[in-house]
Amino acid sequence: MINITLPDGNIKSFEKAPTGLDVAKSISEGLARNCVAMDLGGKLVDLDTVISKDSGVRLITTGDSEALEILRHSSAHVMAQAILSIYKDAKLTIGPVVEDGFYYDIDMEPVSKEDFDKIEAEIRRIISAKIPFKRKEVSKNDALDFYKNEPYKLELISDLKDGTISFYEQGDFSDLCRGPHLPHTGFIKAIKLMKVSGAYWRADQTKAQLQRIYGTAFFSKKELDDHLHFIEEAIKRNHRRIGVALDLFSFHDEAPGMPFFHPKGMNVWGALIDYWKAEHRAAGYVETKTPIMLNRSLWERSGHWENYRENMYTSVVDEIEYAIKPMNCPGGMLLYAMKPHSYKDLPLRAAEIGLVHRHELSGVLSGLFRVRAFHQDDAHIFMTPDQIEGEILGVLKLVERIYSTFGLGFHLELSTRPKKSIGTDEQWGVATEGLKLALAAYGMEYKTNEGDGAFYGPKIDIHIKDALGRTWQCGTIQLDMALPERFDLTYVDKDNERRRPIMIHRVIYGSIERFFGILIEHFAGKFPIWMAPIQAVLLPINDELVSYAKEIQAILEKEGIRTEIDGRTESLKKKIRDAQINYVPLIITCGAKEKEAGTVSVRTLSGKVKYGVSVDDFVKITLSHIRERKPDLEVFID
């Protein structure tokens, strides 16, 4: 008798050793039809695996998170089978699952997207045949013999330890693989080849160049259609494309990975910084500024010279080595140490928008998302141990206020002490408990990443969610016990004893350049009016009305409303269209009737028009919208 314990505690008994499919059928036929694999004692295995002893079993259905990876892993095999049936001389290498899909590196003649239709047709034939995936296990020697005509598989097998080697068969196709796989190819309901690129075998330029063919797969056509729509929308929102179109920023070969911000880009930048400063003043922060370059002895003291040297830009001045700062923290330590502190001074919240430089490899640079020069909205909070909970809670509330202004949701993750760390058990206990108490008081569910904290302290990472549902890790709150120790920072407690302060590192925007890029894609370039590069454009309908437009512009700019005049000799229709393409929130038409009445006609990006608006009312309504930093684009709507 074999007893199977299910996740809900129920036990199913079988007279003979069952497979996972047998277990599923014993519950319901509907469940069995949706099962793709099982978790057997904590290990994912094929559904046809025989369970030979009493075990805990969790059935993996198409709705479980693990199922999608199994589907895509199986889809990579199906794609490889289809390619081999068309390209007889092709040689397979590896085909892993990656984010949003899978790829397979294949030594074969060059292919292009034009070849995808015939490959996908063969894939559909394999899927419709509902070919079972069958696991085979052989010795290493037998595996070497089996793949004797497959040079890449031979190399992979040779690198494995002696013992059992597994591969999977589907009809006349086989592939080296750990598994698990779907019960049969018919479970693949929606698959699409996405792109092809070149790749070197084992990323070695001295070895063969391969064809890397990417694909994606889902359990339903709707999921695939939604994914393709997401990709199309993400392409439209690409911050590099929008940045060029709106004249916000550029990159130049003279400074790789270091963005140049144009006047319109600086308008957005200024709005972000002004908002940040206002929120921090209200939250009791003081603002500081530290030098961009400091000498080697400081970086040795902070530990960066030993642990981060390869990412730092250095120079020699008066025969002394200097480094351009990759982070702001050590300068903040020097400022704290300038004078003695009492417990009455704490917490001390010091914020700095500091320009930092880090040497990133050229291959990973990616628009504003990955740069070599960027600004961090750092803050260092120096406090006593009993202030941890309150200060963390204060940062979380500040984070919520700022992100909500941009319409960004977020979730939290707590990372605890790693194996390699500094500090005593007591220090870590106090710090971690402080974070947990603050999170409990904040009341949002959070994920715990055991052992994933920094070596100097536990941390909370803040992952924002944009309009497309993508998540980005921008904000972080880190407790640090290392730098106060290294820099011998102290305060005098109420008993007149010298104590070591605990310090919080925290950022909210993170890299402001990266956050800028995220916001471009989040808003698809259609910034709320308070952030918009140009908030209003004036369109005189002929040359005689340009002077009237200039009068209005002078009034608006005096009130701080960013304004342009489109005085081109183009039709009004084209001027309106161009303003809409540039996502100007307020399009103001200046005609003879408006001049005579001292009014304007206001058009919004949605196409709605309000006629006969007095200039005073326009200013009043617009400034109210800007001051309140409303996230919506539309104003002047009844």
> Active-site residue numbers?
329, 358, 376, 378, 380, 459, 505
Radius of gyration of the chain (CA): 31
Q: Which residues pair with 349 in a beta bridge?
A: 381
* Spatial contact of 60 and 181, defined as CB atoms under 8 Å apart: no
- Burial state string for 371-395 with b = 16 or more CB within 10 A and e = fewer than 16: bbbbbbbbbbbbbbbebbbebbbbb
**What distance in Å separates the CA atoms of residue 102 and residue 69, rounded to the nearest whole number?**
9
Mind spelling out the 3-state secondary structure of 174-208?
EEECCCCCCCEHHHCCEEEEEEEEEEEHHHCCCCC
CA triplet 485, 490, 494: central angle to 5 degrees? Answer: 140
Using DSSP, state whether 404 is helix, strand or coil. Answer: helix
**What distance in Å separates the CA atoms of residue 313 and residue 329, rounded to the nearest whole number?**
17
What residue ranges in 272-335 does DSSP mark as E strands?
286-287, 293-295, 314-317, 320-324
Hey, what are 192's tokens? 């699409």
Hey, what are 510's tokens? 């993170």
**What distance in Å separates the CA atoms of residue 73 and residue 71, rounded to the nearest whole number?**
5
Residues 6 or more apart from 235 whose CB is under 8 A from it?
A: none
Strands 320-324 and 314-317 come out as antiparallel
Phi-psi region of 412 (alpha: psi -120 to 50; beta: other; left: phi over 0): beta
**What distance in Å separates the CA atoms of residue 620 and residue 568, rounded to the nearest whole number?**
28
Using DSSP, state whether 131 is helix, strand or coil. Answer: coil
Hey, what are 279's tokens? 């929120």
**What distance in Å separates the CA atoms of residue 501 and residue 577, rounded to the nearest whole number?**
58
**What distance in Å separates the CA atoms of residue 435 and residue 433, rounded to the nearest whole number?**
5
- Run of H or E including 599: strand 599-604
CA trace torsion 358, 364, 369, 374 (10° rounding) = 10
* Spatial contact of 218 and 189, defined as CB atoms under 8 Å apart: yes
List, edge to edge, every strand of the sheet that includes 293-295.
293-295, 320-324, 314-317
Q: What are the C-alpha distances in Å from 304 to residues 288, 295, 352, 609? A: 21, 12, 19, 58
Strands 2-5 and 55-61 come out as parallel
Hey, what are 636's tokens? 């002047």
**What distance in Å separates the CA atoms of residue 506 and residue 332, rounded to the nearest whole number?**
13
* Spatial contact of 105 and 95, defined as CB atoms under 8 Å apart: yes
